[in-house]
């Protein structure tokens, strides 16, 4: 029987610790049980060691997604319980201290330009890179040039990690973001989006269009409170996309 393409891999993500933040991969080994190292570790709920499902998950502690593991040099002879306890680390909640949103400046644009040229990001977003002149013209006229838009640079430490923008489109208030590849898998996008929709863009409902295969971005939007609206549709560029909505608070 002739081979038939049923899809393409747009990105690889692994969750080393159950219910905690993911890490982006350039490649992965796949076996009978899935990706090697995926959900290899988990916390056990206190007093639940004998339970059929003893794991501490995001259901019990919704803040777990804000934490990521940190690799440490550990004696391989240590038991898994000890490794699981100390191979976790840096709370992504600390992103609030490390990450900030500020107004976009002209000097940010060359950095944004390089971010949107990263092949992995183009595949995930299903959006081709713009040439430099076209990119600069778009930002200067349509983004920075419109007082109706809200636009922020995402800054981590002293580095510009990406941008987040809201605008009007076909009667909907929309939001979009772009994070540099080096900052993926660290909760930066989620932290930035939550802060943006909490402190800067308070219009509700608020919408986001996302490629249907972009699982990472869909997860970021869901963590910020967005929900899928309707069925997937084919955009003008031929890409299957989802409409996500952050509804009004009741």
- pLDDT at position 118, please? 94
- The tens digit of pLDDT for each residue in 37-78 reads 888 888 887 766 555 667 777 777 767 766 777 655 444 433
- CATH number of the domain that 203 lies in? 3.40.630.30
DSSP string, 221-243: HHHTT-EEEEEEEE-TTS-EEEE
pLDDT at residue 90, rounded to an integer: 43
State how beta strands 34-35 and 227-234 pair.
unpaired
Residues 116 and 68 in one domain: no
Pairwise CA distance, residues 174 & 206, whole Å: 6
Relative to beta strand 206-211, strand 88-91 is: unpaired
Write down the pLDDT at residue 217. 94
Q: How far apart (Å, rounded) are the C-alpha atoms in residues 163 and 122?
A: 15
Query: How many domains is the chain built from?
Result: 2
Check residue 3 and give its pLDDT. 78
Of 47, 70, 94, the residue at which a domain comes to its end is 94
Whether residues 183 and 138 share a domain: the answer is yes
Q: What is the pLDDT of residue 23?
A: 77
88-91 and 99-103 strand pairing: unpaired
The predicted pLDDT at position 87 comes to 35
Q: Which domain holds residue 185?
A: 97-246
At 222 the pLDDT is 92
Q: Does 58 share its domain with 121?
A: no
Domain contains 65: yes
Domain membership of residue 197 (yes or no) is yes
Find out whether 195 and 166 touch, Cβ atoms under 8 Å: no
* pLDDT by residue, tens only, the chain of 250 residues: 677 877 777 777 788 888 887 777 778 888 877 888 888 888 887 766 555 667 777 777 767 766 777 655 444 433 333 333 333 334 444 555 578 999 999 999 999 999 999 998 999 999 999 999 999 999 999 999 999 999 999 999 889 999 999 999 999 999 999 999 988 877 889 999 999 999 999 999 999 999 999 999 999 999 899 999 999 999 888 899 999 999 997 6
Strand order in the sheet with 99-103: 99-103, 150-156, 159-169, 172-179, 206-211, 240-246, 227-234
Among 94, 122, 152, residue at a domain's last position? 94
Q: What is the pLDDT of residue 98?
A: 77
pTM of this prediction?
A: 0.66
Question: Quick one: 151 and 68 in the same domain?
Answer: no
Q: Tell me, what's the pLDDT at 62?
A: 65
pLDDT of residue 71: 58
Q: Which of 94, 120, 154 is the last residue of a domain?
A: 94
d(CA 215, CA 26): 16
């Amino acid at each position: 029987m002739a081979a038939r393409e049923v899809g393409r891999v747009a990105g690889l993500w692994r969750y080393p610790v159950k219910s905690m933040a993911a890490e982006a991969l350039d490649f992965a080994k796949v076996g009978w049980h899935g990706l090697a190292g995926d959900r290899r570790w988990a916390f056990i709920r206190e007093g639940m060691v004998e339970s059929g499902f003893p794991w501490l998950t995001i259901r019990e502690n919704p803040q777990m997604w804000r934490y990521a593991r940190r690799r440490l040099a550990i004696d391989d002879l240590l038991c898994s319980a000890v490794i699981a306890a100390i191979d976790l680390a840096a709370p992504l909640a600390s992103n609030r201290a490390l990450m900030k949103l500020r107004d976009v400046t002209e000097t940010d644009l060359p950095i944004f330009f390089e971010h949107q040229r990263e092949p992995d990001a183009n595949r995930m977003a299903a959006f081709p890179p713009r040439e430099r002149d076209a990119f600069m013209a778009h930002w200067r006229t349509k983004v920075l040039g419109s007082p109706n838009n809200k636009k922020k640079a995402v800054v981590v430490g002293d580095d510009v990690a990406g941008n987040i923008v809201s605008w009007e489109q076909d009667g909907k208030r929309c939001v979009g973001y772009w994070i540099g590849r080096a900052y993926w898998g660290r909760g930066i996008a989620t932290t930035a989006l939550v802060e943006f929709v909490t402190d800067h863009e308070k219009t509700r409902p608020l919408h986001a269009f996302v490629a249907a295969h972009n699982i990472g971005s869909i997860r970021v939007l869901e963590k910020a409170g967005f929900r899928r609206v309707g069925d997937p549709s084919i955009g003008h560029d031929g890409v299957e996309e989802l409409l996500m909505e952050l509804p009004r608070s009741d």
